Amino acid sequence: MIRDSLVVLFTLVIAMLLSIWTTEVSGLPLLIDWVALVLFYWVVALPARVGLTYALLTGFAVDVLSASPLGHYALIMTLVCLFGQLICLRFRKMDVLSQIALVFMLAGVARFIDVWLASFETQAVAVTPPLLTALCSALVWPVVMQILRYFRRYHGLTEW
């Protein structure tokens, strides 16, 4: 049980690392929303295990790393998680293109909530265009999903 949650947490930490690296390499912060993608995968794959606790913890960790008010990213993660829980059964049956389309929509909504919250916090100017983030995230989704699926099966994580 503990080992299983460590597996999930490990992938989430890797996602945070990836988001720092993409920022450094591309110069565009959050070009790909790795953390949201990874969390979404786990929610869809194991909805009975990965839920709001993971969403909140990850959200707070990202908030601390990115120096935004605590709860900013956590709120977005909660919504991503909630949406994942709602559609997980249908989502698993979709073909890749529909999945990409849905992830694009979800990431886009997440970005707009982010911009909206940020506009309350400071005189925010989105450095990376929100829709670009959504598009890039959607495009890497199939790869992320395949890798995480392999990883999940390798460690024998199943829903129940």
Partner 1 sequence: MVWVADRQTDVLDPVRRAGLDATDFIFDVAAVPGNIWQALSEASRSEDALYNRVDQLERENLVLQAKLQQMVALRAENSRLRALMNAGPRERNDVLATEIIGVSPNPNRQIIAIDHGSNDRVYPGQPLIDSDGLLGQVIEVASDTAQVMLISDASHSVPVQIIRNSVRAIAEGTGDLHRLRIEYLSTTTDIEIGDQLVTSGLGGRFPMGYPVAKVVAVERTDGDRFATVWAEPLAQLSRTRHVLLLFPEGTLASDINHGSRALAP
Q: Does 82 bind partner 1 (CB under 8 A)?
A: no
Q: Does 137 bind partner 1 (CB under 8 A)?
A: no
Q: What is the dihedral of CA 107, 16, 26, 81, to 10 degrees?
A: 0
Q: Does 74 bind partner 1 (CB under 8 A)?
A: yes
Q: Does 144 bind partner 1 (CB under 8 A)?
A: no
Judged by CB under 8 A, the chain residues 31 through 60 that form the site for partner 1 are 60
How many chain residues are in contact with partner 1, going by CB under 8 A?
44
The correct pick among 36, 43, 62, 106 for binding partner 1 (CB under 8 A) is 62
Q: Which listed range, 43-51, 63-71, 86-94, 146-154, lies at the site for partner 1 (CB under 8 A)?
A: 63-71
- The secondary structure of residue 155, as a DSSP letter, is T
Give the Cα separation of 74 and 61 in Å (integer). 8
The 107-136 contact track toward partner 1, x by CB under 8 A, reads: ----x--xx-xx-xxxxxxxxx-x--x---
Alpha helices in 27-160 (DSSP H): 34-45, 52-65, 72-93, 96-121, 130-154
149 phi and psi angles, rounded to 5 deg? -65, -45
Q: How far is the CB of 97 from partner 1 (least distance, A)?
A: 27
Structure token digits, residue 119: 């506009």
Structure token digits, residue 90: 């249908």
Structure token digits, residue 43: 């929610």
Nearer to partner 1, 46 or 144 (CB): 144
